[in-house]
Chain A
Amino acid sequence: MTTSQSQPAVEIRDLHKSFGPLEVLKGIDFEVGHGEVVCVIGPSGSGKSTLLRCVNLLEEPTAGRIWVNGTEMTDPDVEIDSVRRGIGMVFQSFNLFPHLTVLDNLTIAQRRVLRRGRAESERVARANLERVGLSDKAGAFPAQLSGGQQQRVAIARSLSMDPKLMLFDEPTSALDPELVGDVLTVMRKLAEDGMTMMVVTHEMAFARDVADRVVFMDGGVVVEQGPPQEVLGAPRHERTRSFLSRVLDPTHVAQLGQPDEAAEPPAAPGLPADDRHQL
């Protein structure tokens, strides 16, 4: 495995993915640099989750190549289990192991996969629980936690494997609105600590404030990408504009849904000044 800093953390070339006759990804070219935070946005069905799931090969690409930290994921002989150790993933539905305590959720893979001893893995686990602000929940079962707490445990579980890249698949979409903030705060801290992150999200405020780059996907292709102030503040494509206006101002979709009469982007879809979490 060659892990040189000259290569990007994630490199995707001409990625195609079909489910039966349905082509979900229609040729994606895409890179994530080391330490970069990339937010992928787009309407549901645009293929953004599928793209993310292709990166760690939860979905097998139909065509194209993917490298993560210099290892080709699409090589048929790739040692998938060992590459995945370096790629954390956080799911929309948390996917904590309900039969294990929070602490065991964080230690089981360390012990079975990394072969760390009990003391060592518990030390790492507790450090990561501390990081997500849940030190006091080590002995709890997932079902005893709120959604926001579960998702933070899931993040800590991934971090316990010392990943070099973290994938987030709509990490706050299943949460009650008042619990979203805690999870986003943890993710922001992670970004500030220099973690390489690829985040599929509907949280535009998070994308604006934390992302180094925002990628807008629609219909299985990358429509546009760039710094958040460009993509979110002054989108160049009509599809991006109409998506943003639907997300940011859902009660006025009726008018905005019409072909834009004014040439100017609909008030450059005013990102709300406050930090409220949309949708």
Chain B
Amino acid sequence: MKLRRRQRERLSLWLQYLAFVAVIAVVVLAADWGRLREAFFRVDIIESMFPTIITVALRNTILYTLGAFAFGLVFGTVLALMRLSRVAPYRWVATAYIELFRGLPALLVLFLVGYGIPIAFPEREIPGGVFGSITIGLGLTAAAYMAETIRAGIQAVPKGQMEAARTLGMSHFTAMRTIVIPQAFRIVIPPLTNELILLTKDSSLAYVLGVTAQTIEVTKFGRDTLNDRVNATPLLVAGLTYLIITLPLSQVVRRLELRYAKAR
């Protein structure tokens, strides 16, 4: 029997739906829901984590992330401008820095800032405690990534923009600051958002600096609670807490891009 084209397509579609439903059914039937709930969804443990996970842990996660992002953004912009500089040594230094720090694990840099430098210079102290250390420790690596992104953004601004600005009598610096860089940042919003989300997750590395009850962030808080209660529920709660940051962030950025689309 030979099926006609529409019949074949309908059959294929039905088979795909059927396969999907079958897999779901197997998972639902085979899972031991009682044990899963016991391991991952103990309501009493969830309740015990609130409100500290929000008022302390999430707040610190956000602070560490923003600190590192701000540091990386400023330093990364400086590095990007150095890479595009007419002064050759600036280009060398920036290139070397970027190549070095892109190749180092964030954890190693964090150890370096948190322990290496205090050992080397015991009389000095990094200002801001854990916050200061994580801002610098994660920011140093983030700057290397962001520098390359920002450089690409600057180079993506058409040459005519600089020419038009210079023709109006602006200096190179003024043209860069008021015309080129604002446009470059609109171009690099999506990759910088990625960097911000990566930093949100990397902020969990703060635990290696030895955090206290006041400086604890979401992942460490989840793990501590897990140790306390010998149950996996805190990890689920901690994981979902990150989504409180990342999901709205995606929305905000989508709005931002839409608004700038008008002015591109």
By a beta-carbon cutoff of 8 Å, the part of chain A in contact with chain B is 56, 58, 81-82, 84-85, 87-89, 91, 93, 95-100, 108-109, 112-114, 141, 143-144, 154, 157-158, 161
Contact A95 B262 (CB under 8 A): no
The residues of A that contact B161 with a CB separation of less than 8 Å are: 95, 97
With A91-B163, A143-B263, A143-B264 in contact, is A99–B182 under 8 Å at CB?
A: yes
Residues 176-202 of chain B, each 1 if its beta carbon lies under 8 Å from chain A, else 0: 001100110010000000000000000
Which chain A residue lies CB-closest to B260? Answer: A99
A48→B25 CA distance, assembly (Å): 75
**B169 surroundings in chain A (CB, below 8 A):** 81-82, 84-85, 109, 113-114, 161
Is B170 part of the contact surface with A, judged by Cβ < 8 Å? yes
Measured CA separation A56–B167 after assembly (Å): 8
In the complex, A161→B138 CA distance in Å?
46
14 additional contacts (CB under 8 A) given A87-B167, A91-B163, A154-B164: A56-B167, A84-B167, A85-B169, A89-B164, A97-B179, A99-B182, A99-B264, A108-B179, A109-B168, A112-B170, A113-B174, A141-B262, A144-B262, A158-B168
Chain B residues near A98: list those with CB within 8 A: 183, 263-264
B112 at the interface (CB under 8 A from A): no
**Inter-subunit contact A95/B160 (CB<8 Å):** yes
**Does A81 contact B263, Cβ atoms closer than 8 Å?**
no
- The answer, yes or no, to whether B52 is at the interface (CB within 8 Å) is no
Q: Are B165 and A109 in contact (CB under 8 A)?
A: yes
Q: Is the CB of B262 within 8 A of A143?
A: yes
Which of A58, A112, A161 is within 8 Å of B166, CB to CB?
Answer: A58
The reply to whether B263 and A99 contact each other, CB–CB distance below 8 Å, is yes
Contacting residues, chain A, for B260 (C-beta < 8 A): 99
Shortest beta-carbon distance, A134 to chain B, in Å? 18
By a CB distance below 8 angstroms, the chain A residues around B160 are 91, 93, 95
Given contacts A81-B171, A87-B167, A91-B163, A112 and B178 within 8 Å (CB-CB): yes
Set of chain B residues within 8 Å of A56, measured between Cβ atoms: 167
Quick one: closest A residue to B172, CB to CB? A81
What distance in Å separates the Cβ of A14 from its nearest Cβ neighbour in chain B?
Answer: 25
Q: Which residues of A contact B171 (CB under 8 A)?
A: 81
CB distance from A246 to the nearest CB of B (A): 28
The 8 Å CB contact of A99, one of B158, B168, B183, is: B183
A81 touching B167, Cβ below 8 Å? no
The answer to whether A109 touches B170 (Cβ under 8 A) is: yes
Q: Which 9 residue pairs spanning A and B have beta carbons closest together?
A: A109-B168, A95-B164, A85-B169, A95-B160, A113-B169, A89-B167, A84-B169, A141-B263, A99-B263
A95 vs B161: C-alpha distance when bound (angstroms): 6
**Which chain A positions have C-beta within 8 A of B183?**
97-99
Smallest CB-CB separation from A92: which chain B residue? B160
User: Which residue of chain B has the shortest Cβ distance to A111 in the bound complex?
Assistant: B178
Q: In the complex, A157→B170 CA distance in Å?
A: 13
Interchain CA distance A7-B179 in the complex, whole Å:
35
Contacts of B158 in A (CB 8 A): 93, 95
Q: Can you report 20 A-B residue pairs in the complex whose CB atoms are below 8 A from each other?
A: A58-B163, A58-B167, A82-B169, A84-B168, A84-B169, A85-B169, A87-B167, A95-B163, A95-B164, A97-B165, A97-B179, A98-B183, A98-B264, A99-B263, A100-B263, A108-B178, A109-B168, A113-B169, A143-B264, A158-B167
